[in-house]
Amino acid sequence: MITREKTDILELFQDAKSSNSFLRVAAPMVRYSKLEFRSLMRRHNVQLCFTPMITADCFANSPSARFSEFSTNSEDTPLIAQFAANKTSDLLNATEIIAPYVDGVDINCGCPQSWAIAKGYGCGLLRNPELMSDMVKTLRRNFSNKLSISVKIRLLHSENFSSTVELSRQMEACGVSFLTLHGRTPYSKTADPVIHQGIKVVKDSLRVPLIANGNIKSIEDALEMHSITNCDGVMAASGLLTNPSLFDEDNDGITSFKCIQDWANIAASAGEILHFQTFHLI
């Protein structure tokens, strides 16, 4: 892998805002957000990509885990690595390894899966804001502002948003570059509606940029999310798996033929070093 100049993530937000628009963001998607799929999405108006969630202790301690979980190239920017961690030391060690190859590091405090919560990852961290604060402060203390530090969270409650505002402001005070907020609680089901008002309340309380996430299935959904919440970025996950050309302005709701052709070309050019190991239906 080749180290490269950092892309300034905050400048991306500023550029989008100056155009009265929002940053188009691809979520960290387990097994899918690999190099080749990121390359595809970048060709179709995704402006910021995340890696899949990577377990920090395994990444820090195992060369085979690093080989399996992360690959990049000189064109793979802007890119943020997302880590699952329950110890500050593991997060710091993993970040020290990956920092030369990415533009930012994100702490996953939003994964609702039971295994993650049981290990103190994902939503399990929402019960431990002191540890969240220590992680953010430690990374900010050890790395320059050229490396963005961010946290992804969920709404703590579905009706009263004051505790989510308090947590978000705490992360801001600790030095995050931006926050991502999924508009459901840790206990919500995938079919439950996204609580746009909660996202708006949190957005209005912050000085740092906020990326809104949840149920983005089309460009119309993204435009609506931005219109209601005034968020600085919109993150899509399953919508991009169904339609990697989702963020194209002229997209008609289905994967474009050009997107399919681009995917075939990317896979062919990767040859025997294809990192994307899950067959993807587009």
User: Binding site annotation covers 28?
Assistant: yes
Q: Which of 49, 58, 109, 111 is catalytic?
A: 111
**63 carries a ligand binding annotation:** no
* Distance separating alpha carbons of residues 276 and 68, to the nearest angstrom: 10
Query: Is residue 225 a known part of a binding site?
Result: no
258 is in an annotated binding site: no
Q: Which residue has the tokens 């049981």?
A: 118
**DSSP, residue by residue, the chain:** ----PPP-HHHHHHHHHHTT--EEEE---TTT-SHHHHHHHHTTT--EEEPPPEEHHHHHH-HHHHHHH----TT--SEEEEEE-SSHHHHHHHHHHHGGG-SEEEEE-----HHHHHTT-GGGGGG-HHHHHHHHHHHHHHS-TTSEEEEEEE-S-SS--HHHHHHHHHHHHHT-SEEEEESS-TT--TTSPP-HHHHHHHHHH-SS-EEEES---SHHHHHHHHHHH--SEEEESHHHHH-TTTT-TT--SS--HHHHHHHHHHHHHHGGG----S----
| 259 noted as active-site residue | no
Residue list, annotated binding site: 28-30, 82, 152, 182
Active site residues: 111
Residue list, annotated binding site for FMN: 28-30, 82, 152, 182
